């Protein structure tokens, strides 16, 4: 066990170094949610009710971008470049390698969330965490859910060149439908109904309860249930469709 942990730590550190060597990826993963927060926060300046909607929304988007987007793109690139196939042929356990990739994405998500929550408090008057336990539960479940869905979605992306188009075809509609930048309750009924089927709005609702309104897990049990179902579906699809081989080979 201690040897596995040491190998995982070594792989994680390597993934962090590789991440920082790609400035454009670092900007997209860490800076983009904060830019969205500052931009829309400036637009909504003076309307605390909308700011209280915006901060949990951007926090939820950060979870999706840091896990779903990042892992889907990385897994496609690693698969099509033959990295996964080569790594499987080395003495390094597959679980350690994939664990390092996953922990790198989770670390980026945590950094994004820290930026968003601190900026929301200092710049836009969102008071802070009302229920730390609820916040942790929703963040952990949200990370598991979107990480699994990101790996699962990577199975249908044919190559690295098409990955951004495939990912954005899902990511952009979902963040707009789910009320990241506005109160989803004000959307037309068919938009609200569609959003309720997707996991992001339920993560945002849980984060809103933990950060703004309070109330505890009992009030957000339905949101937890939907996230849990999506997480289960994502894990099953991620495992069943996983391939170490490039589709071009």
Q: What is the DSSP string of 219-242?
A: GGHHHHHHHHHHHHHHHHHHHHT-
- Residue 80 is encoded by which pair of tokens? 């099509």
Q: What is the dihedral of CA 225, 133, 195, 43, to 10 degrees?
A: 180
pLDDT value of position 57: 92
Q: Residue 49: which of 214, 212, 219, 223 has the closest Cα?
A: 212
Are the C-beta atoms of 129 and 135 separated by less than 8 Å?
A: yes
Cα 5 off chain centre by: 24
Mean pLDDT of 14-30: 79
Query: Would you call 193 exposed, middle or buried from its count of C-beta atoms within 10 A (0-12, 13-18, 19+)?
Result: exposed
**CA dist 53 → 189, 208, 211 (Å):** 19, 7, 10
The predicted-structure confidence for 97-121, as pLDDT tens digits, reads as follows 889 889 988 998 888 888 888 888 8
What does the alpha-carbon distance between residue 206 and residue 35 come to, in Å, rounded to a whole number? 23
What does the alpha-carbon distance between residue 47 and residue 126 come to, in Å, rounded to a whole number? 11
Please give the backbone phi and psi of residue 61, each rounded to the nearest 5 degrees, phi first: -60, -35
Helices then strands, each counted (H, E), the chain: 12, 0
Query: What are the percentages of helix, strand and coil residues in the chain, rounded to 5?
Result: 80, 0, 20
pTM, 2 dp: 0.91
Residue 216: Cβ within 10 Å count: 13
pLDDT value of position 155: 93
Tell me how far apart the terminal alpha carbons of the chain are, to the nearest angstrom: 35
3-state secondary structure of 88: helix
pLDDT value of position 248: 62
The predicted-structure confidence for 43-71, as pLDDT tens digits, reads as follows 888 788 888 888 999 999 999 999 999 99
Are the C-beta atoms of 65 and 112 separated by less than 8 Å?
A: yes
What DSSP character marks residue 69?
I
The predicted-structure confidence for 190-231, as pLDDT tens digits, reads as follows 889 999 999 999 999 999 988 888 777 878 889 999 999 999
The residue assigned the tokens 């490039």 is 246
């Amino acid at each position: 066990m201690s040897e596995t942990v040491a190998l995982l730590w070594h792989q994680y550190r390597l993934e962090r170094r590789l991440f920082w060597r790609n400035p454009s990826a670092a900007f997209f993963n860490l800076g983009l949610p904060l830019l969205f927060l500052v931009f829309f926060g400036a637009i909504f300046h003076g309307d605390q009710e909308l700011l209280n909607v915006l901060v949990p929304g951007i926090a939820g988007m950060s979870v999706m971008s840091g896990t779903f987007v990042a892992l889907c793109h990385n897994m496609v690139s690693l698969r099509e470049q033959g990295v996964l196939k080569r790594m499987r042929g080395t003495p390094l356990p597959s679980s350690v390698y994939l664990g390092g990739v996953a922990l790198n994405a989770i670390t980026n998500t945590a950094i994004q969330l820290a930026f968003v929550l601190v900026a929301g408090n200092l710049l836009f008057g969102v008071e802070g965490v009302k229920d730390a336990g609820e916040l942790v539960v929703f963040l952990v479940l949200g990370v598991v859910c979107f990480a699994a869905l990101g790996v699962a979605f990577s199975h249908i992306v044919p190559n690295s060149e098409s990955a951004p188009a495939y990912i954005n075809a899902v990511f952009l509609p979902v963040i707009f439908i789910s009320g990241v930048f506005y109160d989803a309750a004000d959307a037309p009924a068919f938009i609200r109904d569609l959003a309720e089927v997707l996991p992001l709005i339920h993560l945002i609702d849980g984060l809103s309860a933990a950060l703004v309104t309070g109330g505890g897990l009992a009030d957000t049990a339905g949101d937890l249930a939907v996230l849990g179902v999506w997480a289960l579906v994502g894990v099953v699809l991620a495992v069943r469709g996983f391939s170490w081989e490039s589709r071009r080979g």
